[in-house]
Amino acid sequence: MKWKADWGLRARMGLTMFLLFALYVVFVGVLWAYTSGSLLLIVLLMGSFSLGQFFFSDKLTLWSMGAKEVSENEYPELHGTVGRLSQQADLPKPKVAVVDSRVPNAFATGRSQKNAAVCVTTGLLNALDRDELEGVLAHELAHVKNRDMVVMTIASFLSTIAFLVVRWGWWFGGGDRRNQAPIWVAILASLVVWIVSYFLIRALSRYREFAADRGGATITGKPSALASALLTIDGRMDRVPQDDLREESEMNAFFIIPVKSGFVGKLFSTHPSTERRVEKLRELERQMESA
């Protein structure tokens, strides 16, 4: 299959960014009007920090996961597969990293197609066969191709700032009784902003996983291989110790399959259900066979 631009994804990205920008303008206006600029200063400082995070997102994400960038001599087959799939996706070959973890998972990071990294866990390498691994790597390259990580990093900025104001707003206000009303207005506004941005990001994140599944299947031409990989990863999660799962749960938005489970975890998940993703991949397989 030939790669096609996903206009549904682009439209959702554009709409999400526009709504978040409008939300940001209102947010800053409320902080300025009700806090005499004290909380606004914190927002500006955190904004500067987030810019640094944006430019070094690949290194920071790999570091936070304990990932190690590996050479071709260390993992020749992995490098060869990433290089070949990158050519098929018309992408520069990203950096390749490995995490020593029993949790079978993978993720992509980076601010652009030229500054991207693809990372897999040792648990994933041990769990999947060659075709399944290709499907997972192609899925991650589709994220890079769609520039998902750039948009999600920017989109997460407002949610993070609002959360910090909700958490620390009273302390920033100095606890002065005269400032109680303005500070509480700012905290309430921040709470609303955080909730709205949280669900906007979750909605975009779920759609982008479907888009990356389609993109990955387009790159390899084997939707069934990715479907099999998703089922294998999902099944292997039950064998991983809970301590390992808790350690990595903060990276759910990056992973190909999130590590949280249960009703609440599914309700607020950054990903659609594995069953739904597999169903869509099988539909795509049938379309490709009949084309």
Domain residue ranges of the chain, discontinuous segments joined by +: 7-290
Highest mean pLDDT among 36-40, 44-48, 66-70, 269-273: 66-70
Mean confidence (pLDDT) of the chain: 77
* Closest of 125, 127, 115, 138 to residue 62, by C-alpha: 115
CA distance 102 to 85: 25
Tokens of 159: 């949610």
* Residue 106 backbone phi and psi in degrees, to 5: -155, 155
CB 91 within 8 A of CB 148: no
| Angle in degrees, CA 230, 216, 82, rounded to 5 | 100
Identity of the residue numbered 13: M
Place of tokens 């709504």: 19
DSSP states along 251-273: GTTTSSS-S--HHHHHHT-SS--
Task: Tell me if residue 285 is catalytic.
Answer: no
Compare 157 and 81 and report the one with higher pLDDT.
81
Distance CA 106, CA 82 (A): 13
Given 72, 74, 77, 140, which residue is catalytic?
140
| pLDDT top residue among 86 and 9 | 86
Q: Please give the distance of CA 137 from its chain centroid, rounded to a whole number.
A: 15
* pLDDT average, residue stretch 13-31: 71
Cα distance from N-terminal residue to C-terminal residue, the chain: 10
Please check the confidence at residue 83 and state whether its pLDDT lies above 90.
yes
For strand 116-121 and strand 95-99, is the pairing parallel, antiparallel, or unpaired? parallel
**Per-residue model confidence (pLDDT) at position 126:** 93
pLDDT at 178 over 90: no
Q: Which has more pLDDT, 229 or 1?
A: 229
Instruction: Provide the pLDDT for residue 174.
Output: 46
Categorize the per-residue pLDDT at 177 as very low, low, confident or very high, splitting at 50, 70 and 90. Answer: very low
Instruction: Indicate the pLDDT class of residue 169, thresholds 50, 70 and 90.
Output: low
**Global model pTM greater than 0.85:** no
DSSP 67-88: -EE--TTTSHHHHHHHHHHHHH
CA pseudo-torsion sign 52, 54, 55, 60: positive
Backbone angles phi, psi at 95, to 5 degrees: -65, 150
- CA dist 139 and 93 (Å) reads 14
φ and ψ of 96, to 5 deg: -115, 130
Q: Taking CA 180 as the corner, what is the angle to CA 177 and CA 181, rounded to the nearest 5 degrees?
A: 135
